[in-house]
């Protein structure tokens, strides 16, 4: 058993077999073979060793001829490793004594050697770990042959482990079969984190190196509540986690009775509780969990995992599906919210020193009008199908809002000319997630139909903290009094102006902040589908009067620490099971 | 004739240490002898005929190794292997 500490980015617990995504993306089909199959398995192993050896010999000759004996020498070394009796005995032993499959035995053994090398002090020697990964790759290639399973074809449930999942790799995975994620690097805002939350599967990132310690087929536990990954757990640990899974399930069942009940406080205030989604198929989860609508539909997925620019029809199909599935419930679309580095469709961008202060989100859209117009056309067309709102992300000046609005109006005129029937008015709003937008809010409120507070970016830009930087991540606190003041003034001014205000950041997914936010006057929130029942339960357990008293007290506090301690204590009194 | 035991202490002189190519040469030569051959670095002893085992010693330049052979050709084995290491694997 081996315990790894990482950053918890998506809650829940998953237990299952491992799929390791390396450069090659091999999946080891089975860990064990039956006793009868052992001899055949050893033969398969020997055959694979022989044919890889033959291949290396050919390379040896070819390279020696072309480049000289010195260059061929590395192949001689590979060949000798492959024929090394220690190695062969070890692999054979794993098959004949422990009944492991040839693939598993090969992977486990070679990775063990790779790890020994990685741990050597000498840099040159540490690099030699690659030789073992090379050999592993070649042997597995021979062993699996046509049976080799590519990532897009994972067809049984598994836990995906990787150094760092790229958006395109994630996009290729079939979410039905992914039980959980763990990656060696990455932070809370990494793509893996967003996708995992979207899919409602547990995920842990930033654990540091561990891929040499696992092979496909090993059993692993991903604990997305505590940020832990446990490789090859012992029976006691496995049992404990199985019980925890059961507890999760029964709590979920308990909360599921809330599905058809409104998010309404004890004293009758109706809270709009929407869901945040990333993928169109998540509308099912929204309905099952009893969300009032979609408070945030992130449209980025259309751009990820492909180098082709999505067409207007690609956009339209996805949007139409979401709107039609939600019936008369509202859907709030957020236009493209990505940095240039994540978009394969754009020409190579210049390296930015500070991507988060650079060309991203609405700035990117306004600089790539062809790209933006395609999305706007599809959105506007789809808006005829149901109650739809359009929201522009990361607005930092009035000019940006006006430009974006003008483009949208242009698009509507074009569509009318093209013969489409549209609604007369499309509700347009902005994300308030840059402090400048809060400071200029009175002006913005005159030009929008609604606003939505995005706490993740607001916290980052208010406190000047990159939360994926572990040295300062502890400064990233939703409960920081400065952040709370920005939120308080945003809610108050919007309410005074009669402009609907929603909050869709991660802050609202933490039950302890809900009484505070209601007390500050918020009546609309949007959370991941998985959090809907929990947040609804909190809303139904409090009165506005009580919340206002809590908010008043909190706004007098001077540090995030005090705020968190106070709110946790309050939640414990309201709903003890949720106070962690 | 009874089995002979021989041993000798050598220092790695070549710049790159006992990495893949030199280790390969060492194991290759060791396999030419009938004797059982072990290589020791500090408290760790490994099979001198196994390239993997030799590599895992992580012997870099300046590291001292003990080459030990047991068998009929032990004398020859230790002598030739020591020579290989001391020549900086310059063959």
Domain ranges in chain A are 2-27+150-250, 35-146, 293-437
Highest mean pLDDT among A195-199, A302-306, A307-311: A307-311
For residues A484 and A477, what is the distance between their CA atoms, to the nearest angstrom?
10
* Residue A119 reports pLDDT greater than 80: no
Of B17, B49, B50, nearest to A122 by CB-CB distance is B17
Domain covering A35-146 assigned CATH 3.30.1330.10 in the classification = no
Of A78, A191, A462, A539, which one is the catalytic site residue?
A: A191
Residues whose CB is less than 8 angstroms from the CB of residue A37 and which lie 6 or more positions away in sequence, other chains included: none
Which pLDDT belongs to residue A77? 80
Higher model confidence: residue B9 or residue A30? Answer: B9
CATH second-level architecture of A2-27+150-250? 3-Layer(bba) Sandwich (3.50)
* Residue A207 near residue A184 (C-beta atoms within 8 A): yes
* Residue A196 near residue A203 (C-beta atoms within 8 A): yes
Of B20, B47, B49, nearest to A131 by CB-CB distance is B20
Q: Which two tokens stand for residue A547?
A: 């919340």
Highest mean pLDDT among A37-46, A361-370, A462-471, A489-498: A489-498
If we measure between CA atoms, which residue out of A487, A440, A480, A452 comes closest to residue A464?
A480
Residues of B in contact with A78 (CB under 8 A): 20
A191 catalytic per annotation: yes
Q: Which two tokens stand for residue A434?
A: 């840059």
Q: Average pLDDT of B56-61?
A: 83
Q: Which two tokens stand for residue B44?
A: 């760790």
Higher model confidence: residue A129 or residue B12? Answer: B12
Per mean pLDDT, which range of A133-142, A192-201, A243-252 is the poorest? A192-201
Q: Scanning every residue of chain A, which has its alpha carbon at the shortest distance from the alpha carbon of B46? A: A86
For residues A387 and A330, what is the distance between their CA atoms, to the nearest angstrom?
5
* Residue A420 near residue A397 (C-beta atoms within 8 A): no
For residues A263 and A320, what is the distance between their CA atoms, to the nearest angstrom?
27
* Residue A450 near residue A499 (C-beta atoms within 8 A): yes
pLDDT digits (tens, 9 = 90+) for A173-228: 677 788 999 988 877 766 677 778 777 789 999 888 888 788 877 899 999 988 99
A84–chain B nearest CA distance, Å: 6
Q: Average pLDDT of A490-509?
A: 94
* Residue A132 reports pLDDT greater than 60: yes
Q: Residues B84, B86, B91, CA angle at the centre, nearest 5°?
A: 40
Question: According to CATH, what is the number of the domain A293-437?
Answer: 3.20.20.60
Under an 8 A CB cutoff, do B56 and A113 touch? yes
Per mean pLDDT, which range of A249-258, A457-466, A539-548 is the poorest? A249-258
- State in Å, rounded, how far the first CA of chain A is from the last one: 27
Which pLDDT belongs to residue A148? 47
Q: Residues A440, A446, A448, CA angle at the centre, nearest 5°?
A: 95
Which pLDDT belongs to residue B80? 94
Under an 8 A CB cutoff, do A77 and B49 touch? no
Of A286, A462, A504, A539, which one is the catalytic site residue?
A: A504
Chain B contact present for A88, CB below 8 A: no
State the residue for tokens 């469709």: A345
Which pLDDT belongs to residue B15? 81
For residues A240 and A230, what is the distance between their CA atoms, to the nearest angstrom?
12
Domain ranges in chain B are 4-86
Residues whose CB is less than 8 angstroms from the CB of residue B49 and which lie 6 or more positions away in sequence, other chains included: A85, B27, B30, B31, B37
For residues A444 and A395, what is the distance between their CA atoms, to the nearest angstrom?
10
B66–chain A nearest CA distance, Å: 20
Global ipTM: 0.71
List residues in chain B touching A: CB distance below 8 A: 16-17, 19-21, 23-24, 27-28, 47, 49-53, 55-56, 58, 60
Q: Scanning every residue of chain B, which has its alpha carbon at the shortest distance from the alpha carbon of A114? A: B56
Q: Which two tokens stand for residue A294?
A: 């979609």
Which pLDDT belongs to residue A305? 61
| Helices A235-256 and A532-539, axial angle in degrees (round to 10) | 60
Q: Which fold has domain B4-86?
A: 3.30.1340
Residues whose CB is less than 8 angstroms from the CB of residue A279 and which lie 6 or more positions away in sequence, other chains included: A175, A198, A199, A301
pLDDT-derived band at A295 (thresholds 50, 70, 90) equals very high
* Residue A507 reports pLDDT greater than 50: yes
Under an 8 A CB cutoff, do A84 and B51 touch? yes
Q: Scanning every residue of chain A, which has its alpha carbon at the shortest distance from the alpha carbon of B22? A: A77
If we measure between CA atoms, which residue out of A294, A124, A286, A128 comes closest to residue A212?
A128
Q: Average pLDDT of A20-30?
A: 63
Higher model confidence: residue B32 or residue A191? Answer: B32
B32–chain A nearest CA distance, Å: 14
Which pLDDT belongs to residue A313? 94
Q: Average pLDDT of A104-123?
A: 82
State the residue for tokens 């967003």: A194
Residues of B in contact with A85 (CB under 8 A): 47, 49-50
Under an 8 A CB cutoff, do A80 and B58 touch? no
Q: Is A217 left (phi over 0), alpha (psi -120 to 50) or beta?
A: left
Q: Residues A293, A294, A297, CA angle at the centre, nearest 5°?
A: 170
pLDDT mean across residues, chain A: 87
Per mean pLDDT, which range of A235-239, A513-517, B17-21 is the poorest? B17-21
Q: Scanning every residue of chain B, which has its alpha carbon at the shortest distance from the alpha carbon of A78? A: B20
For residues A508 and A527, what is the distance between their CA atoms, to the nearest angstrom?
6
Asked if the domains A2-27+150-250 and A35-146 are classified in one and the same CATH topology, the answer is no
Which ranges in chain B belong to alpha helices (H)? 20-30, 51-55, 74-86
Which pLDDT belongs to residue B73? 93
Provide the number of CB pairs (under 8 Å) joining chain A to chain B: 58
Q: Scanning every residue of chain B, which has its alpha carbon at the shortest distance from the alpha carbon of A121? A: B58
For residues A343 and A504, what is the distance between their CA atoms, to the nearest angstrom?
24
pLDDT-derived band at A122 (thresholds 50, 70, 90) equals low
pLDDT digits (tens, 9 = 90+) for A67-86: 777 677 777 888 888 888 88
Chain B contact present for A132, CB below 8 A: no
Chain B contact present for A287, CB below 8 A: no
Residue A225: count of CB within 10 angstroms of its CB: 15
CA distances in angstroms from B31 to A173, A288, A481, B1, B54, listed in the order given: 48, 68, 72, 21, 13
Under an 8 A CB cutoff, do A120 and B20 touch? no
Under an 8 A CB cutoff, do A122 and B27 touch? no
Residues whose CB is less than 8 angstroms from the CB of residue A66 and which lie 6 or more positions away in sequence, other chains included: none
* Residue A386 near residue A328 (C-beta atoms within 8 A): yes
Chain-centre distance for alpha carbon A28? 25
Which pLDDT belongs to residue A163? 80
* Residue A400 reports pLDDT greater than 60: yes
């Amino acid at each position: 058993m081996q315990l790894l500490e990482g950053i918890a980015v998506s809650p829940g617990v998953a237990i299952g077999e491992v799929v390791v995504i390396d450069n090659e993306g091999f999946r080891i089909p089975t860990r064990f073979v039956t006793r009868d199959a052992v001899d055949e398995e050893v033969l398969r192993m020997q055959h694979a060793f022989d044919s890889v050896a033959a291949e290396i010999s050919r390379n040896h000759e070819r390279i020696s001829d072309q480049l000289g004996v010195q260059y061929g020498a590395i192949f001689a070394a590979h060949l000798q490793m492959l024929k090394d009796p220690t190695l062969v005995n070890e692999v054979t032993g794993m098959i004949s004594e422990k009944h492991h499959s040839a693939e598993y035995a090969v992977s486990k053994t070679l990775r063990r050697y790779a790890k020994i090398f990685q741990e050597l002090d000498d840099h040159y020697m540490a690099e030699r770990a690659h030789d073992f990964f090379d050999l592993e790759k070649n042997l597995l290639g021979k062993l699996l042959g046509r049976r080799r399973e590519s990532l897009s074809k994972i067809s049984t449930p598994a836990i995906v482990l990787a150094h760092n999942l790229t958006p395109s790799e994630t996009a290729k995975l079939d979410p039905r079969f992914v039980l959980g994620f763990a990656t060696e690097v990455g932070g809370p805002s990494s793509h893996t984190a967003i996708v995992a939350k979207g899919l409602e599967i547990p995920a842990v990132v930033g654990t540091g190196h561990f891929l040499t310690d696992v092979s496909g087929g090993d059993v692993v536990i991903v604990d997305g509540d505590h940020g832990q990954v446990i490789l090859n757990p012992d029976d006691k640990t496995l049992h404990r986690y199985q019980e925890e899974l059961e507890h999760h399930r029964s709590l979920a069942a308990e909360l599921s009775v809330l599905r058809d009940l409104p998010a309404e406080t004890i004293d009758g205030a109706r809270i709009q509780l929407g869901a945040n989604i990333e993928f169109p198929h998540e509308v099912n989860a929204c309905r099952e969990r009893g969300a009032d609508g979609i408070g945030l539909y992130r449209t980025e997925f259309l751009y990820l995992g492909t180098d082709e620019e999505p067409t207007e029809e690609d956009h339209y199909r996805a949007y139409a599906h979401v709107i039609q599935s939600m019936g008369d419930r509202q859907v709030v679309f957020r236009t493209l919210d990505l940095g240039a580095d994540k978009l394969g469709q754009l020409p190579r961008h210049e390296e930015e020193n500070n991507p988060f202060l650079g060309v991203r989100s609405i700035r990117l859209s306004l600089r790539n009008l062809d790209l933006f117009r395609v999305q706007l056309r599809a959105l506007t067309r789809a808006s005829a199908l149901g109650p739809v709102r359009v929201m522009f992300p990361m607005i930092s000046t009035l000019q940006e809002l006006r430009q974006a609005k003008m483009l949208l109006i242009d698009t509507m005129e074009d569509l009318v000319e093209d013969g489409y029937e549209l609604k007369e008015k499309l509700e347009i709003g902005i994300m308030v997630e840059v402090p400048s937008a809060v400071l200029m809010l009175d002006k913005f409120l005159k030009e929008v139909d609604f606003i939505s507070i995005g706490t993740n970016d607001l916290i980052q830009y208010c406190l000047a903290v990159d939360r994926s930087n572990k040295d300062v991540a502890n400064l990233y606190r939703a409960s920081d009094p400065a952040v709370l003041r920005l939120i308080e003034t945003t809610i108050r001014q919007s309410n005074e102006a009669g402009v609907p205000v929603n909050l869709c950041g991660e802050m609202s997914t933490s039950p302890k902040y809900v009484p505070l936010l209601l007390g500050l006057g918020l009546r609309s929130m949007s959370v991941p589908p998985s959090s809907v029942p929990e947040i609804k339960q909190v809303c139904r357990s409090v009165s506005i009067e009580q919340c206002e008293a809590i908010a008043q007290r909190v706004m007098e506090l001077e540090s995030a620490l005090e705020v968190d301690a106070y709110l946790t204590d309050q939640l414990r009194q309201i709903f003890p099971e949720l106070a962690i | 004739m009874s089995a002979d035991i021989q041993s000798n202490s050598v220092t790695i002189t070549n710049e790159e240490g006992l990495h893949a190519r030199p280790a390969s040469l060492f194991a290759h030569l060791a396999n030419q002898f009938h004797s059982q051959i072990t290589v020791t670095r500090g408290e760790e002893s490994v099979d001198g005929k196994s390239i993997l085992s030799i590599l895992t010693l992580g012997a870099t330049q300046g590291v001292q190794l003990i080459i030990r052979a047991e068998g009929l050709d032990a004398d020859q084995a230790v002598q030739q292997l020591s020579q290989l290491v001391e020549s900086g694997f310059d063959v």
